[in-house]
Amino acid sequence: MTEASIIGLFVATVSFGALLYLAALGELLAEKAGVLNLGVEGMMAIGAVTAFIIGVELKNPWAALLVAMLSGALLASVHGVFTVGLGAEQVVSGLSLTILGLGLAAYLGKDYVGLPPGAELVPVEWGGLSDLPWIGPIFFNQAPIVYLALLMGIAVSLVLSSTRLGLALRAAGESASSTDSAGHSVLGLRLSAVAAGGALAGASGAYLTLSITPQWAEGLTAGRGWIAVALVIFGAWRPGRVGIGALIFGGTLALKTRLQPFGVEFSPIILSMLPYVLTLAILLIISVRARKRPSPAPFGLGLAYRREER
Amino acid sequence: MRKRLIALLAVLFAFGMLTACGSDDSSSSSSSEASSSSETEEEADSGPETKAAFIMVAPIGDAGWNYAHDVGRQYAEEMTGVETAYVDAVPEGTADFGNYVRDFIDQGYNVIIGTSFGYMDDMLALADEYPDVVFEHVSGYKMNETNFGNTFGRMYEPRYLSGMVAGSATTSNLIGYVAAFPIPEVIRGINAFTLGVQAINPDAEVEVIWTSTWFDPAVEGDSAQALLDKGADVIAMHQDSTAAGEKAEAAGARWVSYNTDMSEFAPEAFLTAPVWNWGPRYVEIIEAAQAGTYAPTAYWGSMAEGIVDLAPIASDVDQGVVDQVMEAKAAIIAGDLHPFTGPINDQDGNEVLAAGEVMDDGAMLGMMFFVEGVIGSTG
């Protein structure tokens, strides 16, 4: 096991961690407002394919990222309209969104499969910082979207904890009827949270096709959207903890292929299951502790709000 | 409650709409393909016209396995004048496969070629149901006595040659190999590659990472990165995406791709590739069906027959090496050189094939050990 191999492990951990973190932050926003969106995988796929298409057509990675975020928001809004507007079952609608997103992405991307990328977001050089041993390659030589993930994590955390908007958003997720009584639009709050969440999932997808593996093919997201959903539970609906969880889950992804060159005899299949096993364990802890203290899940999560049925 | 029902219906409707346009799209792509080809060339001779349909598991634009099959299909159409059609992105293990086949047969197609391993059992059953239709399955091992055979190629021959090129290109004497699953087909490829590497460069070793997936670009790319981090300066692969090559390119290392010439994805890194050339075999099958002489076989074609080949070697490879590789290629085609000729030792140094002996097909088809010089485990 050489130093370069260990540094490589951490570089990949941070990179995969950022991928998962962006999508999980989006899911956290929606869930904080009371909307469970199981369509993360579909929104990531749409973000990935639109980023790639725009990259090929316009050769501009930033335009590609922007369009990916807009497409993610648009697709999420479908879920928003059905669940928030029409009060449809959130689980059913979210699952449909995953299938819809994956199918739509495959359809849109049909002519772009296997094409060389038109635009890429390459790692940022931070001058002398990038040359530092260990710290340099791991933190100061990552793709721009990694830093975007960090910024978004801080922003989401601040907005939720210290702004009136964040308070209203959390209230919409805890008790929609009292939020409504207080004069806030539950509909507006929830719809915007779902759309913003979709934009972050779209950015996560764009990270795949603009940096990690700059190409498009069906099945590119490979279930990582589901890990993001699990991550929100793992992080107990707190942006900071979700970030730590993202690094742990990202580490399992990075370790999956590296155990073999490290000479460790351990099935990569078991390692792939680890994020889900950890999440189940956290769910267990939450439900066992629920007798003594309330669950960290938003109280109104999954419940449709209809004023006339109050 | 009614509102809720309406919303649910709306979701289902939206979903149904999408699946409808999805299937619309694929059937129209095949039917337009069918109508655009040689419908006007009405054959004068008697009997039903021969038409061949191809069913593929992933989009043909993937630059890999499926793309190679589509190139073969077009070649066969050109060479035989027979009308062909294809449908791609047909998943294994679902009713879709059978539906497409029945659809094609209804339209008069009487040669059905399935190019993915998982179609095998469906094809066997369909061949029984339609005894007048010729079924040929690529990469499987089942067949019947009348109208269902299988086709594959001795990819280990060009793998050996690509190993020679890789062996000459490495300076760190560590070559990385990103591979999907530890099954005999993949292990045979790794071993042939390693024997080729060592024919040129006895000091070089080949380190394998199993990805447990045929297609997951993020994992394939990251596996290549892990090998590069460890000091590998050439990356070979048995995967369907080009991700490993892109990592090699970014690291300034070299790359041996697979399935097709993928040089455009990593022009600096690309060395060469063992590639498929299905066209001539498809011509053979279609002509046999046309003449009514088709008899099922377990066809395992070689470089001599042209079903497998080596892609052009990068221009910066030393001419002496290219000459050596071309000499070996000629010797393999002439039958004078077999990549699996003893002495061959396994990873632990135990002799598995005595000096001068040539491994038989049975041993190659069931190969589950690594030869000396491979780092990694087969299990």
C-beta atoms of B209 and A261 within 8 A: yes
Considering only the beta carbons, identify the residue of A88, A218, A261 that sits closest to B59. Answer: A218
Residue A244 contacts B where some CB pair is shorter than 8 Å: no
pLDDT value of residue B62: 66
Q: Average pLDDT, stretch B200-222?
A: 91
Q: Which residues of chain A have pLDDT under 70?
A: 1, 309-310
Query: Same domain, yes or no, for B205 and B285?
Result: no
Query: Same domain, yes or no, for B63 and B202?
Result: no
C-beta atoms of B62 and A82 within 8 A: no
* Residue type, position A86, single letter: L
Q: Average pLDDT, stretch B238-253?
A: 92
3-state secondary structure of B144: coil
**C-alpha pair distances (Å), A79 with each of A94, A112, B3, B94, B176:** 7, 27, 16, 28, 44
Does B96 fall in a domain?
A: yes
CATH of the domain at B83: 3.40.50.2300
Query: Same domain, yes or no, for B242 and B125?
Result: no
Query: Same domain, yes or no, for B286 and B243?
Result: no
In the predicted model, what is the mean pLDDT of chain B? Answer: 87
Domain that holds residue B360: 156-273+311-375
**C-alpha pair distances (Å), A245 with each of A23, A141, A232, A252, A286:** 13, 22, 9, 11, 16
CATH of domain A3-309: 1.10.3470
Say if residue A123 is preceded by a cis peptide, omega within 30 of 0. no
Does B255 fall in a domain?
A: yes
pLDDT over 80 (residue B318): yes
Residue A214 contacts B where some CB pair is shorter than 8 Å: yes
C-beta atoms of A114 and B63 within 8 A: yes
Does B24 fall in a domain?
A: no
pLDDT value of residue B181: 87
pLDDT value of residue B36: 37
pLDDT value of residue B64: 83
Count of A-B CB contacts under 8 Å: 147
Query: Same domain, yes or no, for B210 and B333?
Result: yes
Query: Same domain, yes or no, for B205 and B337?
Result: yes
pLDDT over 60 (residue B21): no
* Of A76, A69, A65, residue with least CA distance to A144: A65
Chain B residue nearest residue A123, CA to CA? B250
Query: Same domain, yes or no, for B202 and B335?
Result: yes
Query: Same domain, yes or no, for B340 and B254?
Result: yes
Chain B residue nearest residue A210, CA to CA? B218
Q: Which chain A positions have a beta carbon within 8 Å of B226's beta carbon?
A: 5, 8-9, 12, 257-258, 261
pLDDT value of residue A292: 76
pLDDT value of residue A310: 52
Query: Same domain, yes or no, for B53 and B181?
Result: no
What's the full length of chain B, in residues? Answer: 379
**DSSP notation for B62-129:** GSSHHHHHHHHHHHHHHHH--EEEEE----TTSHHHHHHHHHHHHTT--EEEE-SGGGHHHHHHHHHH
pLDDT value of residue B213: 81
Considering only the beta carbons, identify the residue of B4, B18, B220 that sits closest to A103. Answer: B18
Does B291 fall in a domain?
A: yes
Mutate to test the interface with B, among A10, A19, A260, A272 (most CBs of B within 10 A): A260
Chain B residue nearest residue A269, CA to CA? B212
Does B16 fall in a domain?
A: no
Tokens of A174: 């805890």
C-beta atoms of B212 and A103 within 8 A: no
Considering only the beta carbons, identify the residue of A112, A222, A306 that sits closest to B218. Answer: A222
Chain B window 218-277: which residues touch A at a Cβ cutoff of 8 Å? 218-223, 225-231, 241-243, 246, 264-265
Considering only the beta carbons, identify the residue of B25, B58, B217 that sits closest to A220. Answer: B217
Q: How many domains does chain B have?
A: 2
**Smallest CA–CA separation between A108 and chain B, in Å?**
10
pLDDT in tens, B146-161: 999 999 999 999 999 9
Q: Which chain B positions have a beta carbon within 8 Å of A87's beta carbon?
A: 3-4, 7
pLDDT value of residue A277: 84
Cα B19–chain centre separation: 29
pLDDT in tens, B42-90: 444 445 789 999 999 877 776 788 889 999 999 999 999 999 999 988 8
Query: Same domain, yes or no, for B181 and B318?
Result: yes
Quote the CA–CA distance of B165 and B293 in Å, as a whole number.
Answer: 41
Residue B284 — φ and ψ, nearest 5°? -55, -50
Map out the domains of chain A as residue ranges.
3-309
Q: Which residue do the tokens 């908007």 mark? A: A165
Query: Same domain, yes or no, for B282 and B268?
Result: no
Query: Same domain, yes or no, for B193 and B56?
Result: no
Chain B window 151-210: which residues touch A at a Cβ cutoff of 8 Å? 207-210
Does B1 fall in a domain?
A: no
Q: Which chain B positions have a beta carbon within 8 Å of A272's beta carbon?
A: 212
pLDDT value of residue B1: 38
pLDDT in tens, B320-355: 999 999 999 999 999 999 999 999 999 999 999 999
